[in-house]
Homo-oligomer: A and B are copies of this chain.
Amino acid sequence: VSGGGKRISSRLGSSTADSITVCGLDLVGDIIGKVSLGDMAFLELRGRLPSPEESAVFNAIAVTLVEHGLTPSAVATRLTLYGAPESLQGAVAAGILGMGNRFGGSIEAAARTLQEAPAGEDPASLARVIVESHRSAHQTIAGIGHPIHRAADPRSARLFAVAANNGFSGRFVQLMQLISEEATRAYGKSLPVNATGAIAAVASELGISWRATRGIAVMARAIGLVAHVQEEMEAPLGGEILSRIED
């Protein structure tokens, strides 16, 4: 053992010649064949398995984020595969690199706003303070509004319903909705809670730190990007995409 340094170990996993332990559970005896992929993700993030209600809500968030068609990151994945067909992992990594401030970042920003709001205070007052502080600083409020003008994002209503049905419609969901109402009044235009705002609120109800919320988008989209690689291998779009750009 080197120079008295501290032990390097992770609570996430470790293995010996005979067993693999993940978050305190035995991979073979406790997990394989018993735990679903979504619940495994919850286990990794929270350090314990979810209750059935937590599982329903967490999986609902995660599946929302898997697939959105030919997004910039899916196109980056396909163009990367075009140049490096030997590396599935490289093409997926290229797509993940686009899950930054514009997409994953808005979930993170909304979750941070909610989680940093002091507990125990009147939610309507908090919403007013949040909207006013963003407005006076000319900052966008993450989690509300949508580039395509529409009354409401159907994903938000669905996610809030799943959360409510499972007992996770607490103060973060309430605060997110009050922020939307307050902003709609303050800006004089419809600013409904969008999908990222709903995900941020519901993830906060599940006790997931705002710092990790972008990670839910990253893990979910990794699944979608693998499927884009598979489709691109079978029926490539890369050449046609490039010909459009060179027009």
Residues of B within 8 A of A237 (CB): 8, 10
Is A190 on the interface with B (CB-CB < 8 A)? Answer: no
Complex: how many Å from CA A237 to CA B222? 25
Complex: how many Å from CA A183 to CA B83? 25
**For the side of the interface on A, what is the size category?**
35 or more
Complex: how many Å from CA A67 to CA B159? 28
Complex: how many Å from CA A65 to CA B132? 45
Output the least CB separation between A217 and chain B (Å). 9
When all copies of this chain in the complex are counted, the total is 4
Complex: how many Å from CA A86 to CA B237? 25
CB nearest neighbor in B for A1 = B247
A84 touches B98 (CB 8 A): yes
CB nearest neighbor in B for A59 = B36
Complex: how many Å from CA A86 to CA B104? 12
B45 touches A238 (CB 8 A): no
Is A110 on the interface with B (CB-CB < 8 A)? Answer: no
CB nearest neighbor in B for A233 = B211
A27 touches B90 (CB 8 A): no
Residues of B within 8 A of A155 (CB): 20, 27-28, 32
B211 touches A247 (CB 8 A): no
Other 14 A-B pairs with CB < 8 A, given A35-B63, A72-B238: A2-B2, A2-B244, A5-B240, A8-B245, A8-B246, A13-B67, A27-B155, A33-B60, A36-B38, A36-B63, A37-B59, A37-B223, A92-B96, A92-B218
Instruction: State the A residues within 8 Å of B (CB).
Output: 1-3, 5-6, 8-15, 17-20, 22-23, 27-28, 31-33, 35-38, 40-41, 44-45, 55-56, 59-60, 62-64, 66-76, 79-80, 82-94, 96-105, 148, 150, 154-155, 158-159, 161-162, 165, 209, 211-212, 214-216, 218-220, 222-224, 226-231, 233, 237-238, 240-247
